Amino acid sequence: MLMGFLPGAAAVRCGPLARLAVLLMAVAVVLPACRREDEPMLRELVALESPEYGAEEVSDQRIRELRQAISELEETVARKVEATEKIGEYHRILAVEYIGRSMYGPALDHLREAIRLEPENPVLAYWAAVAAGRLAKAMMEPPERERYFEYAERSYLRALELNPRYISAMYGLAVLYVFELERPQEAEPLLHEVLRRQSRNVQAMAVLAHAYAASGKLEEAAEMYGRIAETTSDENLRREAIRNRDEVREALR
């Protein structure tokens, strides 16, 4: 009997709470100690053993086999993961070097490989969008050109999906909409958000002014050009903004 092995077994028989304590201790002894569900890797492997991810029991023998596999392969797995991380770094470094030399084709190839390894990295998605957009301009055939612009749009959107506060991706997508895809109205909310976060970003102001003008919102365009003139410290840009403002005002008459 289990109680014969417990200290004070005679006293345990006295009350219901004591009997409950004995029962709980008995359960603890009976449950297989080999499960040790505090081991993260073991828990994941046990879950993968079941076609319903843990809905069925896994035998004690199988758990021992899994623990043995973890012990034997842990160092090999760690080396493999580290090597794969190095491959990702290799693709990122090459992509940066290629972009720095305006070699957007091979840059995009390596960014795609890096994304395959790190699909939830918003920076990789952003640079893939930049490379695809630049590469599209070099394409002579319209279908090919459109394909790369579409890839750029999807990559910008993916970057923003992963990081909704990514200012560079907002701005890049807005530029794509205004100057390449001829969808200026879709750029407006992106640029409003950029300016909400960076109120003195004159580049965003200039793109927004152009978007307003392309959408026929001439009063808003004139106002934005005036805002650029008031904000910028670049005298050449200030003069250009004033000239654009005056031209838009003239068109309103």
- Position 169 scores a pLDDT of 98
Least confident of 25-34, 73-82, 102-111, 117-126: 25-34
The set of residues, in sequence order, having a beta carbon less than 8 Å from that of 252 and lying 6+ positions away, is 218, 219, 222
Least confident of 4-8, 38-42, 54-58, 162-166: 4-8
Cβ contact 39:66 at 8 Å: no
Nearest to 89 by CA among 64, 70, 114, 125: 114
Nearest to 112 by CA among 97, 101, 126, 124: 124
- Position 32 scores a pLDDT of 44
- Identify the residue with better confidence: 51 or 183: 183
Question: What confidence category does residue 3 fall into, taking pLDDT thresholds of 50, 70 and 90?
Answer: very low
Whether residue 37 is predicted with pLDDT greater than 60 in this model: the reply is: no
Least confident of 40-54, 109-123, 170-184, 193-207: 40-54
| pLDDT (mean) for 202-209 | 98
| pLDDT (mean) for 244-249 | 95
The pLDDT tens digits of the residues spanning 96-153 come to: 999 999 999 999 999 999 999 999 999 999 999 999 999 999 999 999 999 999 999 9
Task: For residue 51, give Cα distances in angstroms to 45, 46, 59, 61.
Answer: 12, 11, 15, 18
| pLDDT (mean) for 182-194 | 98
Residue type, 234: D
Cβ contact 34:64 at 8 Å: yes
Q: Name all domains of the chain by residue range, CATH numbers in brackets.
A: 76-164 (1.25.40.10), 187-253 (1.25.40)
Cα–Cα distance, 247 to 213 (Å, whole number): 11
- Identify the residue with better confidence: 46 or 108: 108
| pLDDT (mean) for 194-202 | 97
Question: What confidence category does residue 73 fall into, taking pLDDT thresholds of 50, 70 and 90?
Answer: confident
Question: What confidence category does residue 15 fall into, taking pLDDT thresholds of 50, 70 and 90?
Answer: low
Percentage, residues of the chain above pLDDT 90: 65
Cβ contact 221:209 at 8 Å: yes
Least confident of 15-24, 175-184, 216-225: 15-24
pTM: 0.73
Residue type, 208: L
- Position 20 scores a pLDDT of 44
| pLDDT (mean) for 161-176 | 98
Task: For residue 243, give Cα distances in angstroms to 177, 234, 235, 246.
Answer: 24, 14, 12, 5
Whether residue 182 is predicted with pLDDT greater than 90 in this model: the reply is: yes
The pLDDT tens digits of the residues spanning 51-69 come to: 554 456 777 777 777 777 7
